Amino acid sequence: MAWDFSTEPEFQQKLDWMTAFVREEIRPLETLELTWPQLLTAIAPLQQQVKAQQLWAAHLDPELGGQGYGQVKLGLMHEILGSSPLGPIVFGCQAPDSGNAEILAAVGTDEQKRRWLDPLLAGEKYSAFALTEPDNAGADPTNLQTTAVRDGDDWVLDGDKWFISNASTADFVIVVAVTDPDAERHRRASQFIVPIDAPGLEVVRDIASMENPSPRENTYGSHCEVTLRDVRVGADALLGNSGDGFLIAQKRLGPGRIHHCMRWIGQANRAFDMMCERATYRFAHGSVLGEKQTVRNWIADSAAEMQALRLMTLQAAWVIDTQGTKAARKEIAMIKYFGAKILHDVIDRAVQTHGSLGYSSDLPLDFMYRAARAARLYDGPDEVHRDTVAKLILRGYEAPTDRIPTEHVPTRRRAAQERYAALFDEILASV
């Protein structure tokens, strides 16, 4: 029997260290609203401590400076880091840099690794990933229209991108663009490494959003509009082979969704702790809130839902570790929409338990609530993941040849009567 739900004691020690470190050293920084340069200064000594603990950039293999932990361990780490929006960057595993590093590690040339991956891993450079476009459905990226046209040895990129996370603080952007419009739709696109200061690339604005209703320039966590006008890059900007754009994108998405879900559990846990704490002392109508049945239901339901999500996510991570990302397709899609709902519901209950205080910006709940809404959209909207799950499940079923449901009782009864006819004859004969 190999159903083991325990964590090795040595790794648990690391997780315990992370839990205390995030609570005591990282969460206080959240309250300061630092600009990007200020944030980099503040987190530099913390990043050194993480490196000393050998927990830096743990998503990568040891030869690339990571720990080679695999997805289950990484998932457990992200659960702790996700409780703070600043957790991942202090540990060198923040999106989209972690996914970009994985891509560069997987398909980058030696020169691309030296120029882009090494400084990314060292925390000296930061990056963005530009796929989504304002005028095309991001849910179906095969519609994308940004082009990269060959000109001698160079490529010339043109197009509009938006909701490009961290573009305004990035040193380079990995841009997905159509290189062969006539190819089969999954082979039309390629990926390019474009320096942020490439002539013709403009970060037009930080887009105001539910998450950041008043975006401040040069701040970590922006989502930006980016235009590319005759942006010329050399042949060495192409990542992997021409036409491999979507294939490469898939490499980052599977494990990335595990990390998202585990971070969401970390967020949900934080909201849950706030809800439970409030329930112990807020007094109304003759008792503390924790004695109201509704609030007790919220606590019990939240605990059960978070536990379910945690186990589902770790199991999906285990399938990736043991059988590869492709084998975990259904599990990964399932946790994406299931997790987004639980994240929302737990934060929503925590807001409700706190009343006007929960709605105010005096608690982190308002930001968490607004940010949680995006979970149903990024890395593919819920509906697309549900569609994938249903499609994969339905592959295991086929229509009955006689078009009568397999469980049709009159049909089954007739079959049973025939099968047991001799037995019934015996019973009747013995009466």
Ligand X SMILES: Cc1cc2nc3c(=O)[nH]c(=O)nc-3n(C[C@H](O)[C@H](O)[C@H](O)COP(=O)(O)OP(=O)(O)OC[C@H]3O[C@@H](n4cnc5c(N)ncnc54)[C@H](O)[C@@H]3O)c2cc1C
Contact by Cβ (8 Å): 139, 170: no
**Cβ 384 to ligand X, closest distance in Å?**
5
- Rule CB under 6 A: choose which of 164, 174, 193, 328 binds ligand X: 164
- Rule CB under 6 A: choose which of 328, 380, 385, 388 binds ligand X: 380
Which CB sits closer to ligand X, 174 or 314? 174
156: number of Cβ within 10 Å:
18
Q: Which of residues 55-94 bind ligand X (CB under 6 A)?
A: none
With CB under 6 A as the contact rule, which of the stretches 108-116, 117-125, 162-170, 320-328 interacts with ligand X?
162-170
Give yes or no for residue 374 binding ligand X (CB under 6 A).
Answer: yes
Give yes or no for residue 254 binding ligand X (CB under 6 A).
Answer: no
Q: Which residues contact 193 (CB under 8 A, 6 or more apart)?
A: 104, 112, 116, 172, 173, 174, 233, 237, 239
- Rule CB under 6 A: choose which of 58, 130, 189, 314 binds ligand X: 130
Which CB sits closer to ligand X, 160 or 331? 160
**Cβ 335 to ligand X, closest distance in Å?**
17
Token output for 282: 């807020």
Terminal-to-terminal C-alpha distance of the chain: 50
Distance CA 87, CA 420 (A): 66
The set of long-range contacts for 26-30, using a CB threshold of 8 Å and a minimum separation of 24, is 26/84, 26/86, 26/87, 26/90, 27/83, 27/84, 27/86, 29/86, 30/84, 30/85, 30/86, 30/364
**Cβ 209 to ligand X, closest distance in Å?**
7
Give yes or no for residue 163 binding ligand X (CB under 6 A).
Answer: yes
Q: Which of residues 383-422 bind ligand X (CB under 6 A)?
A: 383-384, 387
Which CB sits closer to ligand X, 395 or 403? 395
Give yes or no for residue 263 binding ligand X (CB under 6 A).
Answer: no
Handedness of CA 163, 227, 159, 171 (dihedral sign): negative
Contact by Cβ (8 Å): 218, 169: yes
Question: Burial code of 39-66, b = ≥16 C-beta within 10 A, e = fewer?
Answer: bbebbeebbeebbeeebbbbbbeeebbb
- Rule CB under 6 A: choose which of 139, 304, 404, 427 binds ligand X: 139
Nearest to 239 by CA among 65, 106, 97: 106
In the block, tokens 């925590």 appear at 350
Give yes or no for residue 100 binding ligand X (CB under 6 A).
Answer: no
Give yes or no for residue 303 binding ligand X (CB under 6 A).
Answer: no
- Rule CB under 6 A: choose which of 146, 165, 191, 219 binds ligand X: 165
Give yes or no for residue 15 binding ligand X (CB under 6 A).
Answer: no
With CB under 6 A as the contact rule, which of the stretches 83-91, 123-131, 146-154, 263-271 interacts with ligand X?
123-131
Nearest to 227 by CA among 140, 297, 167, 307: 167
Which CB sits closer to ligand X, 218 or 417? 218
**Cβ 69 to ligand X, closest distance in Å?**
24
In the block, tokens 């457990």 appear at 76
- Rule CB under 6 A: choose which of 129, 172, 318, 369 binds ligand X: 129
Q: Which residues contact 14 (CB under 8 A, 6 or more apart)?
A: 53, 55
With CB under 6 A as the contact rule, which of the stretches 36-44, 161-169, 244-252, 311-319 interacts with ligand X?
161-169
Angle separating helix axes 293-323 and 245-281, nearest 10 degrees: 150
Give yes or no for residue 377 binding ligand X (CB under 6 A).
Answer: yes
C-beta nearest to ligand X: residue: 138
**Cβ 390 to ligand X, closest distance in Å?**
11
**Cβ 208 to ligand X, closest distance in Å?**
12
Size of the site for ligand X (CB under 6 A): 21
Binding region for ligand X (CB under 6 A): 96, 129-132, 137-139, 163-165, 211, 223, 374, 377-378, 380-381, 383-384, 387
